[in-house]
Amino acid sequence: MIKFKSIFLTLVLTVSFFACEQEQTEFKALPAPDMSSSSGESGSADFSKFVSIGGAYTAGFGDGGLLHSGLQPYSVGRMIAVQLAKAGGSSTFVQPDINSENGYFGAGDDGIPGTSDDEGRWFLSVSRSTGAQGISRAPGDFASVGTPYQGDMTAIQNFAVGKQTLGQFLVPNAAPYPVNPYYARFDASSGTVSSMAQMIGSGGTFFMAWLGAYDFLAHYARGGDENVFPEPTAATVVGPQFEQAVQAMVAGNPTWKGVVGTVPDVLASPFFQLINPTASIPLDATDDAATLGQLAQLAGAYNQTVDGFAAQSLITSTEAAMRKLSWSAGLNALLVFDADLTDLGPYWDGMVLANQITAAQRAMLEPYKQARMAKDGEIAHLLASTVIGNNVVEGDPTMGVWGVSAPLPDVYFLTGSELTYLETQRLTFNGMIKQAVATYGDGRIAVADFDGFFANLAGTMPATIDGTVVEYSFLPPTGMWSVDGLLPNGRGYTLMANKFIDAINNTFGATVPHGSPGDVPGTRLPATVD
């Protein structure tokens, strides 16, 4: 249908994204942070054995997966432990490092773990042949996750598990075993005891629990598509689950104290902010003249049917106006799928039966039955950059171009109604976290409130912190984000740990010092590929 010749995706980056074949790249392991000095007091808390539990932040995920080199040693769990060691805590903190440079995220397109297309870390890259900069993905190291942890599982202090919902922390990793390979590799119970129960039974004197963030983060990162990842429902699901966790932690260890965190404003991360959905499709009046002509024909035919349905009261005039398609020379909005729109398919079927349109015309309209142009305030996340401008069918532009003549799938896009719903659920859940601590915490639990955390950092950076310049980006050497733009790097995790430390100090009268982002590495310089 559409001949598309010269589209490119403009991002607010100094690097561009492209797919390339990568050669073996050596990533040298970085040392764990120093835990030897002492300069603070514990107040009414006892930091002699610190344990932690949570998701990707607490485990040290980043660069699109879990890897040892450069990230896992700087997990939020460990960065808190480093500072607690300066206020009476232990100089050791045992977490189940995977000891993998490429790390692991998940199976590739074949859906089978342990095959050649498994996905490992993302890394900044530069092409030897062209000099072009971009982001590449290393092959995944499934063995690092699929092989049991070789250390003493009974000595583990960081029970964080990436890609695990709050409810899964409360039940054994079974049915069928394992549900989550990241937990299975260090699950001392072999699927009979929950990670929460193992943390409670670890003999800790102080804990950090950051639960529920993945329930929201994963849904956001999948475009709010409920068919891919379920919606987080605060009042009836994640809220009661958190209450259960708090009660279990208080009852299971009657003497320890701890700190919990609320769910951050994850939509302020670069992953959700780098693409402008209303100005992502550049069309040139000369070079793209043929494309503009074809798009104008499409818009005319589509808009005519929409007006006709509004005239028949099959859809409202408001919806008709929202659905109008329009392209012009310059930067254009993305064409997107919106599940909240009326499905026009049955109406077009009726037009075929009434001989108002042909079957061929009906087939051409099929992709647009729930389509519209993106609006201000909506979000296309970073992974959309991998499909926008690509042919729906590789090598065949007549079948449509994603985001241009074919609606961007829901998994890459958050509509206004989805954003309203999700943010309402997140804020409701955060309120339930505070209420659960007040009701069941027995005065032994501090709350680190991360609502607005990322937005505040974005508004105040670049900043000089302890002599180190930190920027709100993933660009080396000063950025605080890992290459995926969704999870921080060691410097970002240090700032997160400091938020927990503030809550600990304020609640228990401790004087635990802040960690310095300058003590940990930022994003690495690009590696040479092809």
pLDDT in tens, 95-107: 999 888 888 888 8
Percent of the chain beyond pLDDT 70? 91
Torsion of CA 369, 375, 378, 382, to 10 degrees: 80
Q: How many CB atoms are closer than 10 A to CB 411? A: 18
- Answer yes or no: is 345 within a domain: yes
Q: Report residue 301's pLDDT band, with 50, 70 and 90 as the boundaries.
A: confident
- Answer yes or no: is 511 within a domain: yes
Q: How far apart are CA 211 and CA 76, in angstroms?
A: 13
Most confident range, picked from 73-87, 104-118, 217-231, 377-391: 73-87
Q: Report residue 34's pLDDT band, with 50, 70 and 90 as the boundaries.
A: low
User: Is residue 435 over pLDDT 60?
Assistant: yes
Q: How many CB atoms are closer than 10 A to CB 235? A: 11
Average pLDDT value for residue range 173-195? 87
Structure tokens belonging to residue 410: 């829901």
Q: Which of 369, 387, 414 is the last residue of a domain?
A: 414
For residues 214 and 247, state if they share a domain.
yes
pLDDT in tens, 439-458: 999 999 999 999 999 999 99
Least confident of 111-120, 151-160, 330-339, 366-375: 111-120
User: Is residue 485 over pLDDT 70?
Assistant: yes
SS3 128: coil
For residues 266 and 316, state if they share a domain.
no
Q: Which of 393, 414, 435 is the last residue of a domain?
A: 414
User: Is residue 234 over pLDDT 50?
Assistant: yes
For residues 255 and 176, state if they share a domain.
yes
For residues 198 and 217, state if they share a domain.
yes
Q: Which class for 369: exposed (0-12), middle (13-18), buried (19 or more C-beta within 10 A)?
A: middle
The tokens 């409130």 sit on which residue? 449
For the chain, give the mean pLDDT.
Answer: 88
**Computed from CA positions of residues 56, 256, 446, 244, in that sequence, does the dihedral angle turn out positive or negative?**
positive
For residues 70 and 170, state if they share a domain.
yes
For residues 428 and 447, state if they share a domain.
yes
For residues 267 and 305, state if they share a domain.
no
Average pLDDT value for residue range 281-302? 92
Q: Report residue 365's pLDDT band, with 50, 70 and 90 as the boundaries.
A: confident
Name the β-bridge partners of 122: 137
Per the CB < 8 A criterion, the answer to whether 77 and 70 are in contact is no
Q: How far apart are CA 159 and CA 403, in angstroms?
A: 41
Average pLDDT value for residue range 371-384? 94
User: Is residue 29 over pLDDT 90?
Assistant: no
- DSSP code string of 215-229: HHHHHHHTTT-TTTS
Q: How far apart are CA 278 and CA 10, in angstroms?
A: 12
For residues 337 and 442, state if they share a domain.
no
Q: Who contacts 508 (Cβ-Cβ below 8 Å, separation ≥6)? A: 42, 43, 44, 45, 257, 446
User: Is residue 25 over pLDDT 70?
Assistant: no
- Answer yes or no: is 347 within a domain: yes
Structural domains of the chain, count: 2
Identify the pLDDT of residue 149. 92
For residues 331 and 344, state if they share a domain.
yes
- Answer yes or no: is 342 within a domain: yes
- Answer yes or no: is 443 within a domain: yes
Least confident of 30-44, 49-63, 197-211, 383-397: 30-44
Q: How far apart are CA 529 and CA 126, in angstroms?
A: 6
Q: Which of 365, 394, 414 is the last residue of a domain?
A: 414
For residues 264 and 207, state if they share a domain.
yes
For residues 232 and 170, state if they share a domain.
yes
pLDDT in tens, 65-91: 898 877 899 999 999 999 999 999 999
Least confident of 140-154, 174-188, 493-507: 174-188
Least confident of 234-243, 277-286, 385-394: 385-394
Identify the pLDDT of residue 116. 85
Q: Which residues form the domain of 499?
A: 50-89+153-273+417-524
- Answer yes or no: is 21 within a domain: no
> What size, in residues, is the chain?
530
Q: Report residue 526's pLDDT band, with 50, 70 and 90 as the boundaries.
A: confident
Q: How many CB atoms are closer than 10 A to CB 337? A: 22
Least confident of 228-237, 272-281, 315-324, 466-475: 228-237
Percent of the chain beyond pLDDT 90? 66
CATH of residue 62: 3.40.50.1110
- Answer yes or no: is 483 within a domain: yes
Distances in Å between the alpha carbon of 230 and those of 219, 346, 354, 379? 7, 28, 40, 19
For residues 423 and 403, state if they share a domain.
no
Alpha helices in 90-132 (DSSP H): none
Which phi and psi (to 5°) does residue 104 adopt? -150, 140
Which phi and psi (to 5°) does residue 465 adopt? -120, 115
Q: Report residue 14's pLDDT band, with 50, 70 and 90 as the boundaries.
A: very low
- Answer yes or no: is 120 within a domain: no
User: Is residue 3 over pLDDT 70?
Assistant: no
Distances in Å between the alpha carbon of 162 and those of 21, 66, 288? 28, 8, 45
